[in-house]
Protein backbone atom coordinates (compact mmCIF):
# COMPACT_ATOMS: atom_id res chain seq x y z
CA UNK A 1 0.00 0.00 0.00
CA UNK A 2 1.22 3.48 -0.80
CA UNK A 3 2.21 5.60 2.14
CA UNK A 4 -0.27 8.41 1.57
CA UNK A 5 -2.49 8.70 4.65
CA UNK A 6 -2.25 10.36 8.01
CA UNK A 7 -3.15 8.77 11.32
CA UNK A 8 -6.49 9.93 12.60
CA UNK A 9 -5.15 9.40 16.10
CA UNK A 10 -2.36 11.79 15.15
CA UNK A 11 -4.96 14.16 13.77
CA UNK A 12 -6.74 14.09 17.12
CA UNK A 13 -3.46 15.04 18.76
CA UNK A 14 -2.86 17.72 16.15
CA UNK A 15 -6.39 18.98 16.50
CA UNK A 16 -5.97 19.43 20.20
CA UNK A 17 -2.25 20.05 20.49
CA UNK A 18 -2.87 23.50 21.85
CA UNK A 19 -5.45 22.08 24.21
CA UNK A 20 -3.38 19.33 25.76
CA UNK A 21 0.09 20.86 25.65
CA UNK A 22 -0.18 21.64 29.33
CA UNK A 23 -0.79 18.00 30.23
CA UNK A 24 2.92 17.15 30.26
CA UNK A 25 4.59 19.05 33.02
CA UNK A 26 2.89 22.41 32.51
CA UNK A 27 -0.04 23.96 34.28
CA UNK A 28 -3.15 21.82 34.50
CA UNK A 29 -5.24 22.55 31.41
CA UNK A 30 -8.79 23.81 31.80
CA UNK A 31 -11.46 21.16 32.07
CA UNK A 32 -12.94 22.01 28.67
CA UNK A 33 -9.67 21.01 26.98
CA UNK A 34 -9.56 17.60 28.63
CA UNK A 35 -13.28 17.07 28.10
CA UNK A 36 -13.08 17.96 24.40
CA UNK A 37 -10.21 15.56 23.83
CA UNK A 38 -11.94 12.74 25.73
CA UNK A 39 -15.17 13.33 23.80
CA UNK A 40 -13.42 13.23 20.43
CA UNK A 41 -11.67 9.99 21.32
CA UNK A 42 -15.00 8.63 22.58
CA UNK A 43 -16.66 9.62 19.32
CA UNK A 44 -14.01 7.80 17.32
CA UNK A 45 -14.31 4.65 19.41
CA UNK A 46 -18.11 4.45 19.31
CA UNK A 47 -18.35 5.40 15.65
CA UNK A 48 -15.97 2.68 14.53
CA UNK A 49 -17.70 0.14 16.75
CA UNK A 50 -20.96 1.02 15.04
CA UNK A 51 -22.68 2.69 18.01
CA UNK A 52 -24.12 5.67 16.15
CA UNK A 53 -26.14 7.10 19.03
CA UNK A 54 -23.19 7.08 21.43
CA UNK A 55 -20.85 8.47 18.76
CA UNK A 56 -23.23 11.33 17.99
CA UNK A 57 -23.56 12.16 21.67
CA UNK A 58 -19.78 12.24 22.15
CA UNK A 59 -19.26 14.40 19.09
CA UNK A 60 -21.96 16.84 20.24
CA UNK A 61 -20.22 17.01 23.64
CA UNK A 62 -16.88 17.73 21.98
CA UNK A 63 -18.39 20.48 19.86
CA UNK A 64 -20.04 22.03 22.90
CA UNK A 65 -16.71 22.16 24.74
CA UNK A 66 -14.91 23.63 21.72
CA UNK A 67 -17.73 26.10 21.06
CA UNK A 68 -17.01 27.67 24.45
CA UNK A 69 -13.70 28.93 23.06
CA UNK A 70 -15.19 30.68 20.04
CA UNK A 71 -12.40 29.17 17.90
CA UNK A 72 -13.51 28.10 14.47
CA UNK A 73 -10.13 26.52 13.74
CA UNK A 74 -10.56 24.00 16.55
CA UNK A 75 -14.10 23.24 15.44
CA UNK A 76 -12.83 22.69 11.89
CA UNK A 77 -10.26 20.21 13.21
CA UNK A 78 -12.95 18.32 15.10
CA UNK A 79 -15.02 18.09 11.92
CA UNK A 80 -12.01 16.62 10.10
CA UNK A 81 -11.73 13.93 12.76
CA UNK A 82 -15.34 12.98 12.08
CA UNK A 83 -14.79 13.06 8.33
CA UNK A 84 -11.72 10.82 8.60
CA UNK A 85 -13.61 8.20 10.63
CA UNK A 86 -16.39 8.27 8.03
CA UNK A 87 -13.87 7.87 5.21
CA UNK A 88 -12.33 4.83 6.91
CA UNK A 89 -15.84 3.34 7.01
CA UNK A 90 -16.55 4.24 3.36
CA UNK A 91 -19.25 6.71 4.37
CA UNK A 92 -17.81 9.22 1.99
CA UNK A 93 -19.14 12.72 1.54
CA UNK A 94 -17.81 16.23 1.02
CA UNK A 95 -17.27 16.75 4.77
CA UNK A 96 -19.94 19.47 5.03
CA UNK A 97 -19.19 20.16 8.69
CA UNK A 98 -15.65 21.12 7.78
CA UNK A 99 -16.64 22.99 4.63
CA UNK A 100 -18.85 25.32 6.65
CA UNK A 101 -15.75 26.21 8.71
CA UNK A 102 -13.17 26.19 5.90
CA UNK A 103 -12.48 29.94 6.15
CA UNK A 104 -11.39 29.49 9.78
CA UNK A 105 -9.12 26.50 9.09
CA UNK A 106 -5.34 26.65 9.00
CA UNK A 107 -2.94 25.27 6.40
CA UNK A 108 -2.64 21.83 8.05
CA UNK A 109 -6.41 21.41 8.24
CA UNK A 110 -6.84 22.50 4.63
CA UNK A 111 -4.17 20.03 3.51
CA UNK A 112 -5.82 17.19 5.40
CA UNK A 113 -9.23 18.09 3.99
CA UNK A 114 -7.73 18.00 0.50
CA UNK A 115 -6.22 14.59 1.26
CA UNK A 116 -9.59 13.20 2.39
CA UNK A 117 -11.09 14.54 -0.83
CA UNK A 118 -8.44 12.67 -2.85
CA UNK A 119 -6.54 15.81 -3.81
CA UNK A 120 -3.42 15.55 -1.67
CA UNK A 121 -1.04 13.22 0.16
CA UNK A 122 -0.05 12.61 3.74
CA UNK A 123 2.21 10.09 5.43
CA UNK A 124 0.60 6.82 6.51
CA UNK A 125 1.60 5.51 9.91
CA UNK A 126 1.33 1.90 11.04
CA UNK A 127 -1.74 2.88 13.05
CA UNK A 128 -4.75 0.78 11.96
CA UNK A 129 -7.05 3.76 11.54
CA UNK A 130 -4.46 5.67 9.51
CA UNK A 131 -4.29 2.75 7.12
CA UNK A 132 -8.07 2.43 6.92
CA UNK A 133 -8.37 6.14 6.13
CA UNK A 134 -5.77 5.73 3.37
CA UNK A 135 -7.72 2.81 1.93
CA UNK A 136 -10.91 4.87 2.09
CA UNK A 137 -9.24 7.72 0.23
CA UNK A 138 -8.05 5.24 -2.42
CA UNK A 139 -11.57 3.82 -2.67
CA UNK A 140 -12.97 7.29 -3.18
CA UNK A 141 -10.41 7.93 -5.93
CA UNK A 142 -11.21 4.53 -7.51
CA UNK A 143 -7.57 3.48 -7.12
CA UNK A 144 -8.02 0.98 -4.29
CA UNK A 145 -6.29 -2.35 -4.88
CA UNK A 146 -7.44 -5.86 -3.93
CA UNK A 147 -4.57 -5.96 -1.43
CA UNK A 148 -5.78 -2.75 0.20
CA UNK A 149 -9.30 -4.13 0.46
CA UNK A 150 -8.04 -7.34 2.07
CA UNK A 151 -5.83 -5.36 4.45
CA UNK A 152 -8.73 -3.06 5.39
CA UNK A 153 -10.89 -6.08 6.23
CA UNK A 154 -8.12 -7.60 8.35
CA UNK A 155 -7.45 -4.31 10.15
CA UNK A 156 -11.09 -3.62 10.95
CA UNK A 157 -11.62 -7.21 12.08
CA UNK A 158 -8.55 -7.24 14.32
CA UNK A 159 -9.69 -4.00 16.01
CA UNK A 160 -13.30 -5.14 16.38
CA UNK A 161 -14.47 -2.11 14.39
CA UNK A 162 -17.86 -3.27 13.13
CA UNK A 163 -18.74 -0.28 10.96
CA UNK A 164 -15.68 -0.28 8.67
CA UNK A 165 -15.55 -4.09 8.70
CA UNK A 166 -19.07 -4.34 7.26
CA UNK A 167 -18.32 -1.65 4.68
CA UNK A 168 -15.17 -3.34 3.43
CA UNK A 169 -16.74 -6.81 3.48
CA UNK A 170 -19.51 -5.42 1.28
CA UNK A 171 -16.93 -4.09 -1.17
CA UNK A 172 -15.20 -7.48 -1.31
CA UNK A 173 -18.50 -9.35 -1.67
CA UNK A 174 -19.50 -7.20 -4.63
CA UNK A 175 -16.10 -7.80 -6.22
CA UNK A 176 -16.58 -11.55 -5.81
CA UNK A 177 -20.05 -11.37 -7.30
CA UNK A 178 -18.82 -9.32 -10.24
CA UNK A 179 -16.10 -11.92 -10.86
CA UNK A 180 -18.68 -14.73 -10.77
CA UNK A 181 -17.16 -16.24 -7.62
CA UNK A 182 -20.40 -17.25 -5.95
CA UNK A 183 -18.72 -19.33 -3.24
CA UNK A 184 -16.52 -16.42 -2.08
CA UNK A 185 -19.46 -14.02 -2.18
CA UNK A 186 -21.60 -16.35 -0.06
CA UNK A 187 -18.77 -16.81 2.43
CA UNK A 188 -18.40 -13.03 2.75
CA UNK A 189 -22.17 -12.59 3.17
CA UNK A 190 -22.14 -15.20 5.95
CA UNK A 191 -19.37 -13.30 7.67
CA UNK A 192 -21.35 -10.06 7.40
CA UNK A 193 -24.38 -11.80 8.89
CA UNK A 194 -22.23 -12.96 11.80
CA UNK A 195 -21.05 -9.37 12.43
CA UNK A 196 -24.60 -7.99 12.37
CA UNK A 197 -25.99 -10.78 14.52
CA UNK A 198 -28.39 -12.01 11.86
CA UNK A 199 -26.67 -15.38 11.71
Instruction: Please state, in angstroms and rounded to a whole number, the distance separating the CA atoms of residues 193 and 199.
Output: 5
Residue 80, in any domain of the structure = yes
| pLDDT per position as a tens digit, 55-93 | 999 999 999 999 999 999 999 999 999 999 999 999 999
Residue 2, in any domain of the structure = no
Give how many domains the chain has, as a whole number: 2
Instruction: Please state, in angstroms and rounded to a whole number, the distance separating the CA atoms of residues 102 and 121.
Output: 19
What pLDDT does 123 receive?
82
Mean pLDDT over 87-101 rounds to 94
Check whether residue 12 and residue 105 sit in a common domain.
Answer: yes
E strand or H helix that includes residue 51: none
What pLDDT does 26 receive?
62
Host domain of residue 94: 8-116
| pLDDT per position as a tens digit, 165-187 | 999 999 999 999 999 999 999 99
Check whether residue 80 and residue 153 sit in a common domain.
Answer: no
Instruction: Please state, in angstroms and rounded to a whole number, the distance separating the CA atoms of residues 14 and 8.
Output: 9
- Picking from 14, 36, 3, 26, the residue whose alpha carbon sits closest to that of residue 105 is 14
Check whether residue 105 and residue 164 sit in a common domain.
Answer: no
Amino acid sequence: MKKQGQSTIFLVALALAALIAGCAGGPTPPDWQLDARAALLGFEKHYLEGSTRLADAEFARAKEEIRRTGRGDLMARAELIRCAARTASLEIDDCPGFESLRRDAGAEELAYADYLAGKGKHTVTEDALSRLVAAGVAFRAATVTPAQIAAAIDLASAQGWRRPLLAWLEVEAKRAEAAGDREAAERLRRRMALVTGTR
